[in-house]
Amino acid sequence: MFFRKTEEEPAKLSPELQELRAALAKANLPEAVAAVAKKELERLEKTDPSVAEYSIGLNYLEFLLGLPWNRSTDDNLDLGNAEIILERRHYGLRPVKERVLEFLAGRTLCSLQASRVLVVDDEEIARTNLEYILRKDGYQVATAASGLEALDRLKEQDFDLVLTDLKMEKMDGLQLLESVKQTAPATDIIMITGYATVATAVDALRKGAAHYLSKPINLDELRSSVREIIDKKRHFQLSQGPVLCFAGPPGTGKTSIGQAVAEALGRKFVRLSLAGLRDEAELRGHRRTYVGAMPGRIINELRRLEVNNPVFMLDEIDKIGQDFRGDPASVLLEILDPEQNRHFVDHYLDVPFDLSRVMFIATANIVETLPAPLLDRLEVIQFSGYTEHEKKEIAKKFLLPKQLRTHGLANLAVEVADDAVVKVIRDYTREAGLRQLERELATICRKLARLALQNKSAAGSLAVDELMVEKLLGPRKFTHEAAEGENRVGVATGLVWTEFGGEIIFVEATRMKGVRQLILTGSLGDVLRESAQTALSYVRSHARELGIDPDFFKESDIHIHIPSGAIPKEGPSAGVTIAMALISLLTGRPARRAAALSGEMTLNGRLLPVSGIREKLLAAQRAGVTTVILPQGNEVDVRSLGDEVKEGLEIIMAEEVGQIVDKVLLAEPQ
């Protein structure tokens, strides 16, 4: 409820309202927004400053005026520069860098393309003048002396813009406009009218002209109208492209590459994690009818950055969803779709804001689970885990120098031996990316800083070797589970692919007296449960060939368990590992712990190819596996990988379970 002042009261404007009024007059707001702001201001002028609505309205107007409606940074589209920045900041990642540069090259070419303008006028002098002016401004210009000639030209070539006189013999400007709208709807038209009556101008605009100019032509107006229309068009073309989505395990450089893209383009950078979002309103804002309503994060960030074209990283789009009020995918779709995001309405703002200049980059750990319409908008660039060698190089060249600087050690002679770095990687981290490694190196630097201060004499030189690592970081955190554990009956080693990269799992099977039940535990998803059923049926139906008593299931229950129950497990690729655990259990032959399997299995024991081979091999190396068994269908994937990923591994390709039993199980039953 607003309290209106009475008529008799003199209309004294408070200084803050005067300021707002002045700011509103100066701010070059889009028409619709200016109208809303003006109405709100008028409402405020009639509202008693002591009521809540007054301050709500005031905050709203200040927020509205503070938004970067027209402010953007100029893009630097120098591809050489982009390459230097990407290289300087990142080791390896060749395919990623290539894809990013190709993406930027597309944008560069698009914006360097000379725009084509067609000038149509039956007076030669007018044509020549316009042609001269527009050529000077860098446009490719063609001319036509009549509407019909113009249509012929348009058949031969695409034009971005047609500048046409209204009054011409045979076919006038309006008729030409109608034909162009039918034959080349993407071409914009500026109508030049000799007699700028409102009626003809309105008619032209109604029929689809982008603008009209009256004779005699004001050259500045002509140039700025042409520039504006062409800019809009270029910008529209650029925003039509897909949105980049960096997918891969945590700590593999996704954010860092995003930052480098922003730096290369000369744009500001902002990152918004979607993982913790609980409510659609966090993205889209609350309606102002709520007390304490606030704008959403997207609009808020743009206001903070003061530009409307930053590189905006939407982090972990695969984590939005559960526990999210509203429809997450549709909000994301709206934000990422150029057709929709030019009219993005934040509930608080309540007027459309054009997000199409923002360069969105999404990140995800796994894209397979994203809804299809969303995936459709994304150009996925896959990041994969690093090999030990890559981690060592990145640690030495980037992570350590950064941590030394952060901890004030850059000027001291700190020598970290290669062996020490490798020890940190092997014994203190177990990850596809570099996050834990970076944290451990930070811990080392923190402790070194303290040592340097405590022991002034040693401050000049600090050497870190393997022993020192253990002294600083304590006992090792990880063992090589596969290499160091014992071979056991009923326990097979498997390789799976999770959002954190490749992982090693141990499938356990046991049998007890019972009533033919298959018990499955370890947070297994439906597909994995079905894989277990399939594996059991295979073993039962092939018992004799496998040297197993065909009646083994008669009076027993079988229990299959995959430890680390807190991590949900899903997917078919553990099928063959489950089968191997069962065969080991029922034959009494221990399974080699250092032989790891991955593969989907059919009911008759054939192995079907699986995904994430690189990640799985890296996980195998990390865990000290020596033999990896994969389906024959994955041979192409294995062949395409570099030697470093296969180093230290014997990789066996197999077509069916029968071929691998002797490779995994020891000969003698226990």
Residue among 254, 391, 616, 646 flagged as catalytic = 616
Distance CA 510, CA 254 (A): 42
| Cβ proximity to ligand ADP, 42 vs 379, nearer residue | 379
Residue nearest to ligand ADP (CB): 253
For the bound state, the minimum distance from the C-beta of residue 390 to ligand ADP, rounded and expressed in Å, comes to: 7
| Cβ proximity to ligand ADP, 88 vs 554, nearer residue | 88
Distance CA 359, CA 261 (A): 10
For the bound state, the minimum distance from the C-beta of residue 545 to ligand ADP, rounded and expressed in Å, comes to: 47
Residue among 225, 573, 584, 598 flagged as catalytic = 573
- Give the closest residue to 68 by CA, choosing from 331, 394, 376, 308: 308
Distance CA 311, CA 272 (A): 11
Structure-token pair, residue 670: 């226990």
For the bound state, the minimum distance from the C-beta of residue 248 to ligand ADP, rounded and expressed in Å, comes to: 6
CA angle, corner 481, sides to 428 and 533, nearest 5? 130
Classify residue 363 by burial, with Cβ atoms within 10 Å: 0-12, 13-18, 19+. Answer: buried
| Cβ proximity to ligand ADP, 88 vs 155, nearer residue | 88
Contact between residue 302 and residue 285 where contact means Cβ atoms under 8 Å apart: no
Contact between residue 163 and residue 204 where contact means Cβ atoms under 8 Å apart: no
Give the distance, in angstroms, between the CA of residue 588 and the centroid of all CA atoms in the same chain.
Answer: 49
Single-letter amino acid, residue 143: T
Q: What is the sign of the dihedral through the CA atoms of 615, 620, 621 and 622?
A: positive
For the bound state, the minimum distance from the C-beta of residue 256 to ligand ADP, rounded and expressed in Å, comes to: 3
Distance CA 375, CA 380 (A): 8
With tokens 């316009």, the residue in question is 130
For the bound state, the minimum distance from the C-beta of residue 90 to ligand ADP, rounded and expressed in Å, comes to: 4
For the bound state, the minimum distance from the C-beta of residue 399 to ligand ADP, rounded and expressed in Å, comes to: 6
Task: Give the CA-trace dihedral at 59, 65, 69, 74, to 10 degrees.
Answer: -110
| Cβ proximity to ligand ADP, 435 vs 561, nearer residue | 435
| Cβ proximity to ligand ADP, 193 vs 403, nearer residue | 403
Q: Would you tell me which residues interact with ligand ADP (CB under 6 A)? A: 90-93, 250-256, 394, 398, 433-435, 438
> HEC string of 94-110?
HHHHHHHHHHHHHHHHH
| Cβ proximity to ligand ADP, 87 vs 169, nearer residue | 87
How, if at all, do strands 461-464 and 211-214 pair?
unpaired
Quick check: is 181 catalytic? Answer: no
| Cβ proximity to ligand ADP, 406 vs 455, nearer residue | 406
Quick check: is 232 catalytic? Answer: no
Label residue 650 left, alpha or beta by phi (over 0 means left) and psi (-120 to 50 means alpha).
beta
For the bound state, the minimum distance from the C-beta of residue 426 to ligand ADP, rounded and expressed in Å, comes to: 18
Catalytic residues: 573, 616
